[in-house]
Amino acid sequence: MKKGGGGGGGGRALRARYFDNWYFSYLLFNVANALISPLEVLYCRAEFNASMGEIGLLTASYYITLVPATFLWGVLLDKIGRRREIVAGMLFFVSICLYLVALADSVLKFVIINLLAGLGIAGLGPSATLIIVEQNEPKMWTNKISTFNFVASIGTVLGMISASIFLISTSVVVNSVENVNFLFQFTSGLTFLGSVLAFVFIRNDIKNMKRRYPEFVIILYDRVVEKRRYLPFMLYHLIYGEHVHRIGVSKKERLPSNLLMFYFGILTLYIGFAAFHALLPIYLNEQISLSQGSVFIVYSANAIATLISYKIAGILIMKHGGKAWMISANVVRGLVYLIMGFEAIITSIFAFNVFEVTTLYALSGVFWAFVSISGSTIVNSLSPSKIRGKAVGIFGAVIGLGNLTGSFLGGLLADRLGILGIFQFSAFLIFVGIFIVWFAVPGREDAVFEKLEKENAVAFIDF
């Protein structure tokens, strides 16, 4: 960055380099999403006396459409080049869904609205990734995506803190229909404003998506030979079975077996995460006897801890590799879930109050940053460069499937096992997932970041 120039030009240049104004549209969406996520669960429990199974269905409903819609948007975004209209349209659609939430008078209607909202939200993450990749040079992708994640995380923190202040300062309870409806309408307005900002600031110019095709191709026994002079070597290889020179690849690249095993480990981990989080608001409100405002304080601590940890996590993962931190972080998170799951024993030693629970959940948030970053790093390092986009897309779908399965399973089993039993079950799944990841990832990924930079690694932005 050039020095001088006067009048704060350097600061503007730095912002222009790493920050785009359209990030604000996602910040506003994350504020709204952070406000409504725990609020829906608490409200349906208090107003409609929703069972644990209904709470699980409510939480899972968002992912039921999110998972298949992610594949749909992946196809549509390749065919439709108008990113501005797509993102603005999705945010506008989600704002309508949030407004309808204020009119819902049963758990079933909440579920239906969540199903609809998932259709729109599914495209936000892939769209953000594509906009960053298409409109910036490859050397800028890491910084741009990191800045984007940071800004989006600020939105989550602001949403949690705003809900805490509102609920505590006004002494509102979540079964007060008028006040809760005001919060739902407020989130709708924020998301609508986000759609306006997206339409104003997102550009439709595509700079960095040039495809290169070979000038001449021969297809022989499902093998591709890009130049005529390579054909004799291919024939020699087919006849004698000896590798003279690697002159082509199969028409259809396959995902490595260790990457498939890693997907299975991630699926197991996220089922555990989702089963825990689906019932956490009820646990905090009913079993720990925290007020609704205090529940949001606990969530705020988690979001702030994650936000602060992203930069540190990136540095440490770059230094030590993704596998070491994926395993270490999940060991800590599994222990946190286990401590909460054995609350009945632990409370005989010391009382669980807002401070202890907030500290534990904040600790979980610190290590969530490591899980998030190391997951994308490992997928990129294990996947062949020619199908890296596909590998990352499957990774996102696996996460969505884990969230769907875990949320539904947590609610379904809670009536039999109880909330504490679900927490123990979640911890068990996390440790099983750690075991699978340990065997799937082959040691430390040496020089992984240099490799990924050369091959244009793709990051998965999770919404």
Strand partners, 223: 220, 250
**Mean pLDDT across the chain:** 76
Instruction: For residues 40-58, give the mean pLDDT.
Output: 84
**pLDDT of 264 higher than 90:** yes
8 Å CB contact between 66 and 188: no
Output the pLDDT for position 246. Answer: 42
Maximum average pLDDT range among 134-148, 231-245, 406-420: 406-420
Amino acid in the structure at residue 365: G
**Percent of the chain whose pLDDT exceeds 90:** 17
- Fold of the domain spanning 10-210: Growth Hormone; Chain: A; (1.20.1250)
Q: How far apart are CA 453 and CA 282, in angstroms?
A: 44
Q: Which of 266, 225, 193 is nearest to 438 (CA)?
A: 266
The number of residues making up the chain comes to 463
pLDDT computed for residue 432 by the predictor: 96
Q: b or e along 2-22 (b: 16 or more beta carbons within 10 Å of the residue's beta carbon)?
A: eeeeeeeeeeeeeeeeebbeb
Is residue 227 predicted with pLDDT exceeding 50? Answer: no
Confidence of residue 173 (pLDDT cuts 50, 70, 90): low
pLDDT for 388 equals: 66
- Check if 10-210 and 255-463 are the same fold: yes
Residue of 291 and 245 predicted with greater confidence: 291
Average pLDDT over residues 412-422: 85
Mean pLDDT along residues 113-121? 88
Annotated domain spans of the chain: 10-210, 212-252, 255-463
pTM above 0.75, yes or no: no
- Please check whether residue 110 is in contact with residue 104, taking contact to mean a CB–CB distance below 8 angstroms: yes
| Average pLDDT for 195-215 | 68
Tens digits of residue pLDDT in 363-388: 998 888 888 878 877 887 787 766 66
- Which of 224-263 are b and which e, b meaning 16 or more Cβ less than 10 Å from the residue's Cβ? bbeeeebeebbeebeeeeeeeeebbeeeeeebeeebebbb
Spell out where 265-419 has E strands.
none
User: Three-state SS for 250?
Assistant: strand
Token digits of residue 81: 């080049």
The CA distance from 17 to 159, in Å, is 27
Third-level CATH fold of 255-463: Growth Hormone; Chain: A; (1.20.1250)
Please tell me the predicted confidence (pLDDT) of residue 187: 92
pLDDT band at 188 (very low <50, low <70, confident <90, very high): very high
Residues 6+ apart with CB under 8 A from 310: 146, 149, 150, 153, 369, 373
Smallest CA-to-CA distance from 325 within 407, 180, 437, 241 is with: 437
Q: Kindly tell me if the per-residue pLDDT of 438 is higher than 50.
A: yes
Check the CA dihedral 406-408-413-418 and report its sign.
positive
Query: 27 pLDDT band (50/70/90 cuts)?
Result: very high
306 close to 365: Cβ distance less than 8 angstroms: yes
Determine the average pLDDT of the residues in 239-254. Answer: 48
